[in-house]
């Protein structure tokens, strides 16, 4: 098994036949940087090689504040368009691997799930959130767009009209509001998140594993046939944003904790 710097993986945890991935950049609120994307992709390959031994995969964030707060803006702000394309395409591919994995995947959302963190949760099959979770795709506040499948998965989930409203207004949703739209499947108090998740894990482990995988593949089949080109468009449009002064201003403003002054340049 590989060793990872930004991610922890626990096999047969929290119970036998379950795997738990913990994003572990707690000081950065588990923000997703290039190394985390690379390690996640490698780890999914590792899990794929032993998937017959397991029944379910759980993703969560280290600490109590954040699932994954988004991409690491301090890193992204210095990227050239070509560097950004490499990073964003790697993130897209890692989440596509996760989505295609022949295991049910649960996002255990214990805090911030914004930008790339929300996109990561959307790539999972089931999402459970604590009451203090905050979800959304606020990328336009930075001069960029959701770039790891968010424009595609969110639209599929809630429809074009709602997806446009949320993305174009940088809306952030509390867990209960996300639940009302079917984006989150269960909401509980923070202290109950482990219990809620473990009950669901136990239920899934007790079901027929081949049938679960075939059901997942069948549900996803139409989505893949109709929207795979949308991922290419999303990536190209995101990279175009890196040509703009507005993106540099948006990311600089974020890091300086001030309001951005966009000039449409």
Q: What are phi and psi of 107, to 5 degrees?
A: -95, 120
Give the active site residue among 39, 99, 119, 234: 119
What distances in angstroms separate CA 50 from CA 40, 57, 97, 107, one per listed residue? 16, 12, 15, 20
Give the active site residue among 39, 99, 139, 234: 139
Q: What are phi and psi of 86, to 5 degrees?
A: -65, -45
- Which residues are paired to 19 by β-bridges? 11, 57
Buried b (16+ CB within 10 A) or exposed e, 4-42: bebbebeeeeeeeebbbbbbbbeebbbbbbbebbbbbbe
Q: Which two tokens stand for residue 135?
A: 């979800």
Q: Catalytic: 46?
A: no
Q: Catalytic: 139?
A: yes
Q: How far apart are CA 24 and CA 7, in angstroms?
A: 5
Catalytic residue numbers read 119, 139
């Amino acid at each position: 098994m590989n060793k990872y710097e930004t991610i922890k993986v626990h096999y047969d945890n929290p119970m036998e036949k379950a795997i738990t991935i913990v994003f572990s950049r707690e000081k950065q609120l588990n923000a997703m940087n290039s190394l985390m994307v690379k390690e996640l992709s490698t780890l999914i390959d590792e899990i794929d090689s032993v998937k017959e031994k397991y029944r379910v995969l759980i993703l969560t964030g280290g600490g109590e504040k954040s699932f994954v707060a988004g991409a690491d803006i301090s890193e992204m702000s210095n990227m050239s368009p070509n560097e950004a394309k490499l990073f964003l395409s790697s993130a897209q591919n890692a989440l596509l691997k996760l989505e295609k994995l022949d295991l049910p995947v649960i996002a255990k959302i214990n805090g911030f799930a914004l930008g790339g963190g929300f996109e990561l949760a959307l790539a999972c099959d089931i999402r459970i959130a604590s009451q203090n979770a905050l979800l959304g795709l606020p990328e336009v506040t930075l001069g960029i767009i959701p770039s790891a499948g968010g424009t595609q998965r969110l639209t599929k989930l809630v429809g074009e009209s709602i997806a446009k409203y949320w993305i174009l207004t940088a809306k952030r949703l509390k867990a209960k509001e996300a639940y009302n739209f079917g984006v989150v499947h269960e909401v509980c108090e923070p202290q109950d998140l482990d219990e809620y998740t473990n009950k669901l894990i136990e239920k899934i482990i007790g079901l027929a594993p081949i049938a679960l995988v075939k059901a997942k593949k069948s549900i996803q089949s139409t989505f893949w046939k109709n929207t795979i080109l949308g991922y290419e468009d999303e990536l190209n449009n995101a990279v175009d944003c890196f040509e703009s002064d507005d993106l540099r201003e948006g990311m600089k403003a974020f890091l300086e904790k001030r309001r951005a002054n966009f000039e449409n340049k």
